[in-house]
Structure 1
Amino acid sequence: MVIDPGRISLGRIEADVIVSHLAISWRAMPMLVSLRGKHPKTPLIHVEHSYTKAFVARNVIHKRRFSTLLRVAYRLFDRVVAVSQAQGQWLAQSGAVRASVLSVIPSCVDLSAFRAVVPAKSPARVIGAIGRLDRQKGFDTLIKAFRQTTRPDMFLHVYGQGPEEDALRSLAADDPRIRFMGFSPDPATAMAAVDVVAMPSNWEAYGLVAIEALAAGRSLLVNDIDGLIDHVPQGAQVVFDRSVAGWQDALEGVVAGERQTQDTRNANGPYPEVSFSKNWQELLAAVLGAHSSGAASLAAKPSGMKHV
């Protein structure tokens, strides 16, 4: 269900479980209070896609007021789901969510198309910046860093659209090695066209592009920030110096072969899709059981979960 966060009420929703993907805000509070009031016996789960430690540091001026917003809003839900371990640790340590109602389930998509792409070229030559062209993604730092490299045989392909496109094109200036590829309707095709994926995000709850890159066996460079750290055990390489100079060194290093990410597509262990499904099934069974519905309701009524 897609809704206007400014609505006062959603009315009564017939469902066994309601899962919210809304961005928490003061504007949305009347609707959230109404949602809880109209469904006193229905389990409510909130998935926190938006807020992280770095988001607050870079974007929130009145931090105590924002902290109060999160604490009040989250208490309207039976469970709060963080989408990365790093985000979950921040939510718990900040006091925004009680540990007893917090779960961590990393986000996921179907990665089969990414596993099927051809191996990356070696040595690496094409750096990919994939995502919405927004200041969150830090592509301005990436372009500045790339322009300071001197190798004529390395390239930066920028995939995506967004409000920062004009500014990013201006930064790229007349460097012929930088190409803006626009929106790609097939993310796996875009991934197949690059050798390395760079994620210099200023904040990132998790980063689906990261798991897509790793599933495709691409080298992955990430800032040491928020949920991007979760991808290090799977092979991501951390750029600890987030400056332009730090990213310049990282880009030159990966093209020179000094930073190589191991192809983890054949690694042991379940695929992320399997873990994602299992974790959600266990959470829903536990929540339904706590509301006297029992875990059997999950199997008996698969259509009884509504997402808002």
Structure 2
Amino acid sequence: MTRLRVLHLVDDTTAGGVMRVLDHITTAPELAKDADHRLRSISRDRWLPERMQADVIVSNLAISWRALPMLMALRLLHPKTKLIHVEHSYTEQFVAVNVTHKKRFATLLRCAYALFDKVVAVSHGQADWLKKSGAVKPHTLSVIQSCVDLSRFRKLSPPIAPLRVIGAIGRLDEQKGFDLLIEAFRKTANPNIALHVYGEGVEEAKLRRLAKDDPRIEFKGFASDPVAAMAAVDIVAMPSRWEAYGLVAIEALAAKRPLLVSSIDGLQDHVQKGAKAVKPGSGGERWQQAIEQITAIGSADSTFQAQSTTHPEDVYAAAWSDMLRSL
């Protein structure tokens, strides 16, 4: 059988979830069994169309009206090459929070996705929205939940009771909802619990103002070693306003940390794997209650009894192999 040449295109190589997933794709032995995966960075500002040597081209590019001519050129230059788009960004809640002209945005997605043989949703929550919105034809849609190497996280010991340190890990950005978490945490009365915020970003000054003089809240800066950050916390909280999937969630579950997630978008995928969903609500009362309830639990062990022993990395590799074979 001829090995497929798979070229992954990316237009944002800054450190983050997309690049971590692509690093996993291009280095994981399981993914290399059936195909040669390569990565190519292209500029959002200027890309001169050229014929690329590949059997399959995978777009990890940001969809926009500005990028649409480039995507059309990509299709025209590769009429016989299978094209796949992985949607890392857009979700139902992203549209609700960020998009003013929703019909115009829906038209953009339909036009862009129609250029591809396959569109990959990174979560079932995102896929349900894509189907419901009519942005993509159901027969062209696949779901492959994002993944990275979790082996080091699995080696961590579960937290020891009492569960006291809550970790908020990620970019300090409006999307992540850490402001909601800080406001809810400040309303709790237990002096023995702590909130550790890992990350950097444009919201840092705002978040520090919200934390005020609460000595239980600490800002730890950028986590250069995410495993070490995970080892230092007992609980992980993800109060995102929108989230296509959430790599921190699979890392927390692999590390046997109790996980609190907003019940939105792709974060809902993690509930069946052991996460506890927190419904969005005004005033942060639900997050306050969730924090108080989970820090009152004596042990994390019961949270993970129903989890599958199948490693997400194996599921991820198999899903990619199945999709590539189906092209």
CA shift, 1:242, in A, is 3.5
Query: How far apart in 2 are the matches of 1:265 and 1:192?
Result: 20
Q: CA deviation at 1:5?
A: 2.0
For residues 206 and 77 of structure 2, the distance between their equivalents in structure 1, rounded to whole angstroms, comes to: 46
- CA–CA separation in structure 1 for the residues paired with 2:308 and 2:221: 35
Distance 1:100 1:117, change over 3 A: same
Secondary structure, aligned partner of 1:145: helix
Query: Unpaired runs of 5+ in structure 2?
Result: 1-39
Aligned to 1:6: 45
2:75 aligned to which of 13, 36, 54: 36
Q: In 1, distance between residues paired with 2:94 and 2:301?
A: 27
Inter-CA distance 181–265: structure 2 relative to 1 (3 Å threshold): farther
Give CA-to-partner distance per residue, 1:180-212, whole Å, 9 cap, x none. Answer: 001111101100100000000000000010000
Q: Distance in 1 between matches of 2:147 and 2:83?
A: 21
AA partner of residue 132 (structure 2): Q
Distance across 1 between alignment mates of 2:186 and 2:293: 15
Match in the other structure for 2:314? 274
Higher relative contact order (CA 8 A, sep 6+): 1
- What is residue 146 of structure 2 aligned with on the other side? 107
Q: CA deviation at 1:256?
A: 1.1
**Secondary structure of the equivalent of 1:80?**
strand
Give deviations 1:132-191, integer Å, cap 9, x for gaps: 110000000000111111111000000011110111011111111110001111101100
Letter in 1 for 2:321: Q
CA shift, 1:215, in A, is: 0.3
Q: Does the aligned pair in 1 maintain the 2:243–2:267 contact within 8 Å?
A: yes
1:252-306 Cα offsets, whole Å, 9 max, x none, are 111112896745389444210000000001111111xxxxxxxxxxxxxxxxxxx
1:283 aligns with 2:323: yes
Q: C-alpha offsets along residues 77-108 of structure 1, whole Å, 9 cap, x if unaligned? A: 01000000010011011100001100000000
Match of 2:61, SS state, is coil
1:233 and 1:83 mapped to 2: Cα distance?
16
C-alpha contact (below 8 Å) 1:8/1:34 kept by paired residues? no
**What is the rounded CA distance, in whole Å, between the counterparts of 1:268 and 1:125 in structure 2?**
26
Counterpart-to-counterpart distance in 1, 2:310 and 2:179: 36
Cα distance in 2, alignment partners of residues 102 and 17 from structure 1:
16
Name the amino acid aligned to 1:213: A
SS of equivalent to 1:12 = coil
Cα RMSD, aligned residues only: 1.6
Does structure 1 retain, via aligned residues, the 8 Å contact 2:261–2:278? yes
TM-score by length of 1: 0.90
Structure 1 residue 167 and structure 2 residue 212: aligned? Answer: no
What's the TM-score, normalizing by structure 2?
A: 0.85
> CA separation in 2, counterparts of 1:250 and 1:267?
21
Equivalences for 1:1-308 in 2 at 5 Å? 1-243=40-282, 244-257=284-297, 262-264=302-304, 267-287=307-327
Letter in 1 for 2:236: V
Spell out, residue by residue over 1:216-263, the C-alpha distance to the aligned partner (whole angstroms, 9 max, x if none). Answer: 000000111000100011000011243411111111111112896745
Residues of 1 paired with 2:312 and 2:303: CA distance? 15
1:299 corresponds to: none
3-state SS of the aligned residue for 1:282? Answer: helix
The total of aligned residue pairs comes to 287
